Amino acid sequence: MPNTRNISALGPKKFTGIDLKAPADYAAGIPSIKSALSHTFKELGILKSLKTLSVMNQKEGFDCPGCAWPDPDKRSNLAEYCENGAKALAEEATFKRVNAAFFEKFDVETLSNWSDFEIGKSGRLTEPFLLKPDSKHYEPIAWKDAFQLIAKELKKLQSPDEAIFYTSGRSSNEAAFLYGLFVRAFGTNNMPDCSNMCHESSGVALKETLGIGKGSVTLDDFPEAEVIMVIGQNPGTNHPRMLSALQKCKNNGGKIITVNPLEEAGLVRFKNPQQVNGIVGSGTPLTDIFLQVKINQDVTLLKLIIKKLVALEESQGGVFDHDFIQQKTQGLENLLKDIDTYQEDELLAQAGVNEAVLKDTIELLAKKNKLIICWAMGLTQHKNGVENIKECVNLLLLKGSIGKKGAGTCPVRGHSNVQGDRTVGIMHYVSPALNSALTKHFDFSPPDKTGLDTVHSIQAMHEGKAKVFIALGGNFLSAASDTLYTAEALQNCDLTVQISTKLNRSHLVTGKTALILPTLGRSEKDKKGRFLTVENSMGKVHRTKGILPPASENLMSEPEIVAGIAQAYFGENHHIPWAQLGSNYDLVREKIEAVFTDFKDYTKRSSNTGFYLSNNARSGDFSKLPDGKAKFSICELPHHQLQANEYLMMTIRSHDQFNTTIYGLDDRYRGIYNERRVVLMNEQDMQEMKLKKLDIVDLTSHYEGVERRAESFLVIPYKIPQGNLATYFPEANVLVPYNHFATKSHTPISKSVVVKVEKIK
């Protein structure tokens, strides 16, 4: 039976009443305290807010459900969270409920016409819900029946590869390990995860060049760094406590170079709310040098920097670390040959940066030897996302800045356990070592065929080759590229299952049958004093234990849900003790310890501040790489042939947003209030197009003859390079073609989409 519901995948296109102010010139301070408290007080009440916030990110408390920025070993008694962590808590611990009465009142067609902000504000899911093929209303279903329904649909498939098992980065190590175990025992490696959409490019590049797909620095490196480069990243909004780490570097005399198409307030000046200077004073200036690069010209700029440093090295010496290069790297000769083929003036024009600012950059970098490079999706979500990271590694290797204190790679991860999920086995790749360990400890043969990543899962569902979609957390539809294509893909499925805390658009754009399985939030108490573990952005594994009563008595933890599905599928007498594993997290950790070498004494060592996983790049050991050395790479220059009225567009997050969760309608740091349907545009470009502030435009992208359209955006003049535009994610995801992604990593090109602008009014 076809899926006949009249669902809006994009939500309303109406404006919400914009108010524009000057962009802020600092981050945090009193406004962030006010914002944090107003969000939590509104959703939780004053007492519950204060009690819960006091244990967030504390050693015996729960891990922030927001980003993956690490906690310091010595925690502040005052507050160990940022404004956006408080907003994440407010969303999770809200008193509002999505229960049976809610779904009786609102059908899925009606709800799909709400904005993502309105849907998200509906509240916590209270019990499992079923959407039948002939119905427009979700209705309650018993847990047991839900598990049986999933098992029945999985058994109907002709091949295990007709099922897709997605994981969002919020899931704990224990839930993720159990999920990966079930999916492999079921017989597929179709395990796309949110890494595929964000830092897969980092993983691929770092693995090839340094032998590990993770960053090498720890928090302790920040105060020791002489220079920190922050490239393609907006930490003030997306990883706010990173600003404290940058402040420590500055306080010790370090310098910060920022490379980005937009000058973000968070990197201009930081008013640390925990310090008197941050409350009543002027705070700490962060960025010393701002290189306003054009969208996707980072390789061009880095090549120019390297070329100028090579010239300095040749003329005066002392710029590069020759001992390190000789002992630990390979490929320098080829790199130098490649660099030699470029002209400085051409690179400068293409990168679009100011020549005088570049000169300051070179002078600074030439003298310093302890360099950290931090980055996020401004580097990874391009066709050449992998090359962007490799070019950063080239610079670090030249400076000998890997494997020593105060230096290294820092890919800043978005979701709180996205790295941990991958560590414990969530991946579509085949790991022979993992497969043989699973065979040894669980007595089955895991599949040895590479599974589908995110973009290829969407394609498989769209083509009818995959029929069941199960998501362990997340909001897949809004996170993925090409929204309308992804919606059609999900609607093609026979069954979609979402394991979630709150309602989101992926619960409304569903397969013919859909299930919502509600789960505990991070801040909530699990049964019998159980605790879970997560891994932060710097490879440290630690406990998380909630304190609040669950939003409903009818919630299950993620490990229980995964075990419930597995037991329904395999039956009670299966040789893997699913029910036992789902209820005993110590046992799951014992199994993780047995399967992965890095987790010795897992449960014990996860207490207090936790333990670091091994990291060869951190210790400067490249012996497992081919030829036993870290690798210089030759990266091509990116080229974008733009026609008249074509622009390169990047999607960005507003300050009231975390990934797909919209906390509010303000982007305080950029001075944009109460509106999300905006496009930031260079004033010169506006003049050439005869556009005025707040004119309404449609944006279109055209790839392989397919026009994609994002309707009704308000034009805002902004300091962005000419030829570049910025719009919010996920509103503009509809423009990102599903089949355009980074070479090798398959990360969608969400930061460099060629679009046209059409004036409507």
Can you tell me the distance from the alpha carbon of 429 to that of 200, in angstroms, rounded to the nearest whole number? Answer: 12
Phi, psi of 262 (to 5 degrees): -115, 140
Give the residue with the Cβ less far from ligand SF4, 240 or 406: 240
Cβ nearer to ligand SF4, comparing 411 with 425: 411
Residue among 64 and 191 whose Cβ is closer to ligand SF4: 64
Strand pairing of 661-662 and 657-658? antiparallel
Q: Rounded to the nearest whole angstrom, what is the least distance from the CB of residue 565 to ligand SF4 in the complex?
A: 29
Total binding residues toward ligand SF4, as defined by CB under 6 A? 13
Window of 78-86, 190-198, 485-493, 674-682 that interacts with ligand SF4 by CB under 6 A? 78-86
Minimum distance, C-beta of residue 569 to ligand SF4, in the bound complex (Å): 35
User: In the set 62, 69, 182, 728, which binds ligand SF4 (CB under 6 A)?
Assistant: 69
What is the smallest separation between the CB atom of 1 and ligand SF4, expressed in angstroms? Answer: 43
Q: Give me the DSSP letters along 154-200.
A: HHH-SSGGGEEEEE-TTS-HHHHHHHHHHHHHHT-----BGGGGTTH
Q: 63 by DSSP, 3-state: which?
A: coil
Residue whose Cβ sits closest to ligand SF4: 85
Encoded one letter per residue, x for contact with ligand SF4 by CB under 6 A and - for no contact, window 571-590 reads --------------------
Which of 417, 343, 350 lies closest to 642, judged by CA?
350
Residue number, 658 or 738, with CB nearest to ligand SF4: 658
C-beta closer to ligand SF4: residue 35 or 84: 84
> In the complex with ligand SF4, which residue's Cβ is closer, 170 or 404?
170
Sign of CA dihedral 296, 297, 301, 306: positive
Listed in sequence order, the residues at least 6 apart from 507 whose beta carbon sits closer than 8 Å to its beta carbon are 108, 138, 498, 500, 514, 516
Segment interacting with ligand SF4 (CB under 6 A) among 65-73, 217-225, 507-515, 707-715? 65-73
Closer residue to ligand SF4 in complex, CB, 26/69: 69
Q: Does 324 bind ligand SF4 (CB under 6 A)?
A: no
| Least CB distance to ligand SF4 at residue 231 (A) | 19
Residue placing its CB nearer to ligand SF4 in the complex, 71 or 161: 71
How far apart CA 491 and CA 467 sit, in angstroms, is: 10
64 near ligand SF4 (CB under 6 A): yes
3 state SS of 534: strand
In the bound state with ligand SF4, the residue whose beta carbon lies nearer, of 57 and 498, is 57
Peptide bond into 730 cis (omega under 30): yes
Element (H, E) at 673: strand 672-673
- To ligand SF4, the closest distance from the beta carbon of 538 in angstroms equals 12
Q: Which of residues 202-241 bind ligand SF4 (CB under 6 A)?
A: 239-241
Strands 706-717 and 678-681: parallel
Taking the complex as a whole, the smallest distance from the CB of residue 59 to ligand SF4 amounts, in Å, to: 15
- Closest distance to ligand SF4 from the beta carbon of 125 (Å): 22
CB of 81: closest distance to ligand SF4 in angstroms? 4
- How many Cα atoms occupy the beta-carbon half-sphere of 282 within 13 Å? 4
Residue 67 in contact with ligand SF4, rule: CB under 6 A: yes
What are 354's two structure tokens? 């100011």
- Number of H helices and E strands in the chain, helices first, is 30, 31
> Can you tell me whether residue 616 is helix, strand or coil?
coil
Residues with Cβ within 8 Å of residue 726, at least 6 apart in sequence = 261, 262, 649, 650, 651, 652, 679, 680, 718, 720
For ligand SF4, the closer CB: 128 or 240 = 240
Q: Which stretch binds ligand SF4 (CB under 6 A): 60-68, 149-157, 198-206, 443-451?
A: 60-68
Could you say which residues in the range 241-260 bind ligand SF4, by CB under 6 A?
Answer: 241
Instruction: Quote the least distance from Cβ 536 to ligand SF4, whole Å.
Output: 8
Q: How far apart (Å, rounded) are the C-alpha atoms in residues 616 and 214?
A: 10
Are the CB atoms for 730 and 661 separated by under 8 Å? no
The least CB distance from residue 114 to ligand SF4, in Å, is 25
Quick one: how far is CA 168 from the chain centroid? Answer: 9
Q: Nearest approach, Cβ of 183 to ligand SF4 (angstroms)?
A: 28
Nearer Cβ to ligand SF4 (88/225): 88
Whether 548 and 55 have beta carbons less than 8 Å apart is answered as: no
Q: Of residues 79-98, which lie at the interface with ligand SF4 (CB under 6 A)?
A: 81-82, 84-85, 88
CB of 82 to ligand SF4, least distance (A): 3
Residue type, 173: N
Specify the residue, 248 or 740, whose C-beta has the smaller distance to ligand SF4.
248
Residues 6+ away with beta carbon under 8 Å from 44 = 52, 89, 90, 93, 94, 95
Query: Applying CB under 6 A, which residues contact ligand SF4?
Result: 57, 64, 66-67, 69, 81-82, 84-85, 88, 239-241
